[in-house]
Amino acid sequence: MNKKTNPGLKIICLNRKASFNYFFEDLLEAGIVLKGSEIKSIRDGKVNIAEAYAVEKKGEIVLINSHISPYKQASYSNHYPTDERKLLLNKREINKLIGKMKRDGFTIVPTKMYFKKGKAKIELAVAKGKKQYDKRATKKNRDWNREKSRYIRRSS
């Protein structure tokens, strides 16, 4: 099962809980405004976006609750780990996202963070929350597929 990956893409972290907790409608890529100590820490891989989400503030999309560990060698110019970070999107994309959040009740969830041509990018999903019975059905299907593949392997 060799997956073809983009050679210019280096994935830093994934948000695996997002696909279990949400139905994705749309995926888009955004840049992220970072300080020097934050980018150093990201290059070390000390990032967590599992509990992160994005909201609108003053006409901009802001990432909240993403955790980037402090960089040890930064001394006094270090950053706060859970700062709000501005996302870089076109005005048209921002307006589209704000409209979906306000009207349709969608939320914006980061799914992965990666480097693309040396720049830190974040993949955002426009998502709707799953109910408890949807999560149970997802888990049931996953378990059934696993059992089915085991059964096929044993029978052949």
pLDDT tens digits, 26-84? 899 999 998 888 888 888 888 999 999 999 999 899 999 998 888 888 778 787 888 89
pLDDT tens digits, 98-136? 988 888 878 999 999 999 988 999 999 998 888 888 889
Taking residues 19-28, report their average pLDDT. 88
| Domain made up of 10-130: CATH architecture | Beta Barrel (2.40)
For the chain, the domains span: 10-130
Sequence-ordered list of residues with C-beta below 8 angstroms from that of 69, at least 6 positions apart, any chain: 41, 46, 47, 81
Helix, strand or coil for residue 82? coil
Q: Taking the CA of residue 30 as centre, how many other CA atoms within 13 Å lie in the half-sphere pointing to its CB? A: 29
For the cut 90, the answer to whether the pLDDT of residue 17 exceeds it is no
